[in-house]
């Protein structure tokens, strides 16, 4: 039976405490501190036209991206590494007293996370939701926003904003 190769060590090499610590530390840091994460957000208020229509949230600012997932030209996150991710969506709509507000994250066009709530009335309406989802390289995540105010309203970036994030949790 052959002795398996261990990355970072050579056949016949004497294993020292320092070498073992260096190898273990690197593996630990890569799995804990350098995991894929992407968070993109909206930079300015977006006008949401007629009540009942769906709008893709304009997500044009990269807050963090450790795996090259941000695709701000298309307002989406493109998954590069297979695994289980924590998906978090944040949405905020400007003050308006009527109707409902709806936000959903779509994976390849299909809703995987959604929140619907009534207008907060005299203040901005804010919604946040999170879910664990198994994703594969190439999956596309978009944030869809909607309202039933009866008139055009805007998002509200000052009130916690509009953002989407994908954080790799495990294989």
Residue spans per domain, the chain: 36-170
Longest dimension (CA), the chain: 75
Question: In the numeric block, which tokens belong to residue 25?
Answer: 């530390």
Cα 97 to Cα 119: distance, rounded to the nearest angstrom: 6
pLDDT in tens, 110-143: 999 999 999 988 889 999 999 999 999 999 999 9
Please list, in sequence order, all residues whose beta carbon lies within 8 angstroms of the beta carbon of residue 136, skipping any fewer than 6 positions away: 79, 82
- Please identify which residue in the block is written with the tokens 């916690």: 160
Cα 162 to Cα 142: distance, rounded to the nearest angstrom: 12
pLDDT in tens, 23-41: 676 666 666 667 899 999 9
Whether residue 8 contacts residue 23, with contact meaning beta carbons closer than 8 Å, is answered with yes
Question: In the numeric block, which tokens belong to residue 91?
Answer: 């949405």
pLDDT in tens, 40-83: 999 999 999 987 899 999 999 999 999 999 999 999 999 999 99
Cα 58 to Cα 24: distance, rounded to the nearest angstrom: 42
As beta bridge partners, residue 145 has 55, 103
- What pTM value is reported for the model? 0.82
Please write down the HEC assignment for all residues of 126-154: EEEEEEEEEECCCCEEEEEEEECCCCCEE
**What is 36-170's CATH number?**
2.60.120.40
Could you tell me whether strands 125-135 and 70-71 are parallel, antiparallel, or unpaired per DSSP bridges?
unpaired
Report phi then psi at 135, rounded to 5.
-125, 155
């Amino acid at each position: 039976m052959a002795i398996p190769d261990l990355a970072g060590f050579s056949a016949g090499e004497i294993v020292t405490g320092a070498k073992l610590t260096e190898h273990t530390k690197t593996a630990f840091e890569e799995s804990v501190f350098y995991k894929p994460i992407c968070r993109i957000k909206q930079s300015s208020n977006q006008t949401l036209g007629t009540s009942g229509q769906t709008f893709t949230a304009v997500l044009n600012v990269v807050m963090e991206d450790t795996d090259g997932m941000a695709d701000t030209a298309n307002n989406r996150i493109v998954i590069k590494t297979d695994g289980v991710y924590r998906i978090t969506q944040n949405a905020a709509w400007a003050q308006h007293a009527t109707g409902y507000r709806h936000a959903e994250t779509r994976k390849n066009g299909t809703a995987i996370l959604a929140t619907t709530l009534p207008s907060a009335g005299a203040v901005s309406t804010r919604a946040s939701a999170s879910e664990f989802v198994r994703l594969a390289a190439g999956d596309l995540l978009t944030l869809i926003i909607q309202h039933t105010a009866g008139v055009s309203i805007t998002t509200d970036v000052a009130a916690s904003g509009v953002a989407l994030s994908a954080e790799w949790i495990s294989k």
